[in-house]
Amino acid sequence: MQRTKDLVEMSVKQGKQTRIDLNTAVIGLARARNQKASAEQKLEQSKIDLTEVLGVSPSDAVGVTGELDVTLEDLPPTSQLVEMAQSQRADLKAAAARIAADESGLEVAKSLTIPNLKVFGFYDREEGSNLFGAGVSMPLTVFHDYSGEQRQAAARLKTSELEAEALRLATERQVVSAVARYESTAVRLRQMNESILERSEETLQLMQKALRAGKVGASDVLAAQDNLLSVRQEYVQAQNDYIDAVRALEISTGGALSMSAGS
């Protein structure tokens, strides 16, 4: 924007552009400075957020070096991802443990309703004779037959099974949704490749040359610059969406799927 403003100012002195074009360029430069200040503020906030993730003091100087490298990867079949998720996720493992515990509880409740038989023997002497005998005793559950405990245990088991099934279905939906989101963002990222950025930058350079030659006005160059900014923002947003989609896939599979989301 500073270059454009300088070019327009020179063209005005040469009589190739008007004061209206210069005013347009000055306004555009002021807008660009405001956008830069806003971007710098976001950068500082991002650094503070990064210190929280890293577990260091916000007053520590942190930064990111290198270029963002988003690598597109092909996914396994969705059915395989669902199986991976259902065998890996901690919430499904916990649901299986609850079912096992409730099954044990039901077995205990059932055992309480079955009489505990006792076999016994005895020896005695009566009028000079030896008496031997044996018998079987069985308690009668007259006052409490434990049927209520059995019904409660069965109900708990049924509830655990239904909850586990609902969780399995929810997991499948999450994985399918995450796959669809990933594939959509991957397509966008492939379409919004660096060649589009290069063409937009080349268009701006051509417009600046035309401005020097007096063939176009400042508004045309500003439009080309706005287009370049928009393309860059769309490209960055596509990268952000792709990384979010990768994270959703990893979460939905319980970490069974680990993918590169840039460095």
In the predicted model, what is the mean pLDDT of the chain? 81
The C-alpha atoms of residue 58 and residue 173 are separated, in whole angstroms, by 39
For residue 188, being part of any structural domain is answered with yes
Question: In terms of domains, do 106 and 192 share one?
Answer: yes
Question: Which of 26, 44, 65 corresponds to the end of one domain?
Answer: 65
How does DSSP classify residue 142? S
All residue ranges of the chain with pLDDT < 70 are: 68-72, 112-147, 259-263
Flag whether 263 is in a domain: no
In a domain, residue 258? The reply is no
Domain boundary among 29, 48, 65: 65
Query: Does one domain contain both 104 and 159?
Result: yes
Instruction: Answer whether 4's CB lies under 8 Å from 205's CB.
Output: no
12 found inside a domain: yes
Residue 101 lies in a domain: yes
DSSP-based three-state secondary structure for 255: coil
Residue 213 lies in a domain: yes
- Residue 263's pLDDT is 34
Q: Is the domain of 196 the same as that of 236?
A: yes
The rounded distance, in Å, linking the Cα atoms of 75 and 204 is 38
Same domain, 82 and 37: no
* Residues 91 and 52 grouped into a single domain: no
- Single-letter residue type at 123: Y
Q: Which residues pair with 119 in a beta bridge?
A: 136
- 59 shares its domain with 81: no
- Indicate whether 186 belongs to any domain: yes
Residue 91 dihedral angles phi and psi, to the nearest 5°:
-65, -35
Q: Which alpha helices (H) appear in the chain, and where do they start and end?
A: 2-13, 19-54, 78-88, 90-112, 147-191, 194-212, 218-252
The count of structural domains within the chain is: 2
**Do 155 and 244 belong to one domain?**
yes
- 154 with 202, same domain: the answer is yes
State residue 261's pLDDT score: 43
The predicted structure's pLDDT at residue 262: 40
Contacts of 120 (CB under 8 A, 6+ apart): 134, 135, 136, 137
Q: Which domain holds residue 101?
A: 74-114+147-252
Claim to verify: residue 174 and residue 242 sit in the same structural domain:
yes
Q: Is residue 260 part of a domain?
A: no
pLDDT digits (tens, 9 = 90+) for 105-133: 878 777 766 665 566 566 666 666 666 66
Structure tokens at 71: 């690598």
What residues pair up with 137 in beta bridges, in sequence order? Answer: 118
Q: Are residues 241 and 194 in the same domain?
A: yes
Both 57 and 79 in one domain: the answer is no
Identify whether residues 109 and 10 lie together within a single domain.
Answer: no
Rounded to the nearest 10°, the torsion over CA 204, 206, 208, 214 is -140
